[in-house]
Amino acid sequence: MKIFPMLSLALVAGLALPGTTHAADQTVTLYEARADGAGPSVGTIRVEETAYGLAFHPQLAGLPPGLHGFHFHENGSCAPSTAANGNVVLAGAAGGHFDPKAAKHHGEPWGDGHLGDLPPLYVNADGQATQPVLAPRLMKLSDIAGRALMLHVGGDNHADHPAMLGGGGARLACAVVGGAAPLQPEAGLDTLLRVHAVGQQIYECGKDAQGAWAWLFKGPQADLFDAAGLKVGTHGAGPSWALNDGSSLVGQVQATAPAPVPGAIPWLLLGVKARSGTGLLDKVSAIQRLATQGGVAPAKEGCTAATSGQAARVAYAAEYVFWAPGPAAAR
Ligand SMILES: [Cu+2]
């Protein structure tokens, strides 16, 4: 499908910077989906927590007029992918519709289909979208952290008939929620595994490089759980990840971005420094730490000569996403 030609020409001046304000809302930037990656920005959408669900306030321009399918897709990447038949899928690395409850069908935003199914976005005759929509089943920004927000070329009838996924067809524009550009893995990688981590970040009171008392980071200690809540492995110092299948990795931080919620350790993109064993982690070449909660070092006043050598274990949770080369599911 062809992208509407106006799209590449129009930019919304002053709206292209991603930003976060307080905990109750977050602004994401949408970029045109192109075969060679993200194109120009088409504007921003402010996502606000309300008592009735997440509200989406678009400020978009340069789009084809009419209704456009609007969904969360499962992976936090807007990169293109290559389908099994060799065709490039625009924003294909975002994967299929966000479906954490395994509904396995497309439905109404208030219904029992994919949790990522949103009301369509309305674009006026001038190519602008400013009319808000509400997602009554998504309550918290943390529900969507690290996912991709997708606008499709066509509309959405909120059913899999007569066409799959509401009939919106190709992907027109895409944003990663809370994802800063530096945290995007390189093109050609696809999500292999996403696990939820619950544990502690461990600090020890000591002297920093400048000789001042400080809580020095020692390492994490966490258990890793799959989508069904089953423990699939552990996370430890290094940082390292070990799965029950015998495969393990040691990572190296490549980029960091502040968490979009207060009091949470930063989001990370990591490369792989070392690997061992045989299993699912064999081909992993990038890891993201996303959707962090807690884990920040205690106040520095608590570390003095009197507490030297004491450990502080601070509870945290995060999602780790493991990326490996391979074609994305072209859903
Ligand atoms: Cu979609």
Residue 182 is predicted with a pLDDT of 59
Domain annotation covers residue 184: no
What's the structural domain count of the chain?
A: 2
Residues 83 and 13 both lie in one domain: yes
Distance 226 CA to ligand 1 centre (A): 24
Residues 80 and 144 both lie in one domain: yes
- CATH at 56: 2.60.40.200
Distance 74 CA to ligand 1 centre (A): 10
Rounded Cα–Cα distance for residues 92 and 83 (Å): 8
Distance 104 CA to ligand 1 centre (A): 14
Which tens digits make up the pLDDT trace of 51-97? 999 999 999 999 999 999 999 999 888 888 888 888 899 999 899 99
Domain annotation covers residue 330: no
Distance 156 CA to ligand 1 centre (A): 9
Distance 164 CA to ligand 1 centre (A): 10
Q: Which of 129, 144, 179 is the last residue of a domain?
A: 179
Distance 182 CA to ligand 1 centre (A): 24
Domain annotation covers residue 274: yes
* Four-CA torsion 45, 49, 55, 59, nearest 10 degrees: -20
Distance 216 CA to ligand 1 centre (A): 43
Distance 148 CA to ligand 1 centre (A): 9
Domain annotation covers residue 264: yes
pLDDT over 70 at 258, yes or no: yes
Distance 99 CA to ligand 1 centre (A): 11
Residues 219 and 263 both lie in one domain: yes
Q: Are 117 and 109 in contact (CB under 8 A)?
A: yes
Mean pLDDT, residues 209-237: 94
Distance 93 CA to ligand 1 centre (A): 12
pLDDT over 80 at 245, yes or no: yes
Which tens digits make up the pLDDT trace of 119-156? 999 999 999 999 999 999 999 888 898 899 999 999 99
Model confidence at 327, in pLDDT bands (50, 70, 90)? Answer: low
Residues 166 and 295 both lie in one domain: no
Residues 162 and 236 both lie in one domain: no
Domain annotation covers residue 150: yes
Cβ-count burial of 95 within 10 angstroms (0-12 exposed, 13-18 middle, 19+ buried)?
Answer: buried
Distance 157 CA to ligand 1 centre (A): 12
Distance 5 CA to ligand 1 centre (A): 21
Residues 62 and 137 both lie in one domain: yes
Residues 199 and 167 both lie in one domain: no
Distance 309 CA to ligand 1 centre (A): 51
- Say how many C-beta atoms besides its own lie within 10 A of residue 274's C-beta: 11
Q: Which of 117, 146, 179 is the last residue of a domain?
A: 179
pLDDT over 60 at 17, yes or no: no
Mean pLDDT, residues 258-273: 85
pLDDT over 50 at 10, yes or no: no
Residues 224 and 316 both lie in one domain: yes
Residue 3 is predicted with a pLDDT of 43
Residues 138 and 218 both lie in one domain: no
Which tens digits make up the pLDDT trace of 85-108? 888 999 998 999 999 999 999 999
Q: Which of 145, 179, 213 is the last residue of a domain?
A: 179
Distance 126 CA to ligand 1 centre (A): 23
Domain annotation covers residue 331: no
The residues, ordered by sequence, that sit 6+ positions from 210 with a Cβ below 8 Å of its Cβ are: none
Distance 284 CA to ligand 1 centre (A): 26
Rounded Cα–Cα distance for residues 83 and 98 (Å): 19
Q: What are the CA-CA distances from residue 157 to residues 3, 116, 121, 160, 200 (Å)?
A: 21, 14, 12, 8, 45
Question: What's the chain's average pLDDT?
Answer: 86
Q: Residue 214 belongs to what domain range? A: 189-325
